[in-house]
Amino acid sequence: MTNVVPIMPAYWHKHLRVKDHHSMKVSRWMLKKIDYLRRKLKQGLRDFVMGPYYVLEGQCFLVPKSAPVGARRGLSQCRYEAPERRLLRKFLPTDMPVIELGGSYGIVSNVIRRHISPDQLHVIIEANADLLPICAHNVFLAGSFETVEFMNVAIGYSCDGYLQFEVSNSHHGNKISTSKIEDVPTRMVKAMSLSDLTKKYVCKSEYSLVCDIEGAELEMLRRDGGALKKCKCLILETHPSVFSEMGSSVEEVMDLIAAAGLKIVARDQDVLVALRD
């Protein structure tokens, strides 16, 4: 007896394919969610046992409990700001003052302070006043208290000298406000230009600039490129997604750096290094 195989209508095949594709998407979403929850639980257990302290490069850093899981996990795995730390050690001159824009938790600041000579001035700019005590704590692990200056200002350009600044638990969320969403927490912060900073701290001396200010570097380069005249080394983290929202790109930033007389000599992920001959 011949087996009769029922022929399924074509639209049933299409329906099953769609249903199968949807099931696969749901399964992938579930796997990602489970993996995220697993990593979050693991990080939470680590924080419960060890507290808000993380060892990186032989330093025991304090990090706020409100810090995002990604930042804390990056510290646990020694990946926190790794490209910036690598380039600092390779290119940052040890014999000249440093202006650092965006101190955040003070971890990169600590690396800078240990790298440059103890007698060299290190100016740290952080717009979020809530982070300054933790930033100072982590910087002072490196010693050299007398040659470190902190300023609670935002790098920006406004008519009245103040800017609206978005405040977030995430260090990446602390930035000059460009959002139209009303429930984003903001505060008014004193604005200062790079030109004013250089006049105040380095005058006509050569200096290095380390910059990670969540997209505000674009406006700084557009409006204040002349302040880089005495900058011998620029280490700058770019923010492509923020630039895109502003109708710009990393390519414009690179062009502005070149127009200021600096030559880009290295790139590690989103971090650029530019030197002056």
More confident residue, 9 or 156: 156
Provide the CATH topology of domain 81-275: Rossmann fold (3.40.50)
What is the pLDDT at residue 66? 82
For the segment 50-68, the average pLDDT, to the nearest whole number, is: 88
Which of the pair, 42 or 94, is modelled with greater confidence?
A: 94
The pLDDT assigned to 60 comes to 94
Going by pLDDT thresholds of 50, 70 and 90, the confidence category of residue 186 is confident
* pLDDT above 70 (res 17): no
Using the predicted structure, report yes or no on whether residue 24 has a pLDDT greater than 60.
yes
Question: Where along the chain do its domains lie?
Answer: 81-275
The per-residue pLDDT of the chain, averaged, comes to 86
Q: Across residues 56-66, what is the average pLDDT?
A: 91
31 vs 128, more confident: 128
The stretch 5-13 carries a mean pLDDT of: 55
- Buried b / exposed e over 192-215, threshold 16 CB at 10 Å, is bbbbebbeebbeeeebbbbbbbbb
Burial profile 102-138: b = 16 or more Cβ within 10 angstroms, e = fewer: bbbbbbbbbbbbbbbeeebbbbbbbbbeebbebbbeb
How far are the Cα atoms of 155, 168, 192, 227 from residue 185, in angstroms, in the given order?
Answer: 19, 7, 21, 31
pLDDT > 70? residue 219:
yes
pLDDT tens-digit readout, 110-154 = 999 999 999 999 999 999 999 999 999 999 999 888 999 999 999
Q: What is the mean pLDDT of residues 186-194?
A: 90
Least reliable range by pLDDT among 132-136, 163-167, 232-236:
163-167
- Torsion, Cα 93 98 101 106, to 10 degrees, reads 90
pLDDT tens figures, 62-73: 998 888 888 888
Quick one: tokens of 65? 């409990």
- Cβ burial of 223 (10 Å; 0-12, 13-18, 19+) is middle
More confident: 268 or 166: 268
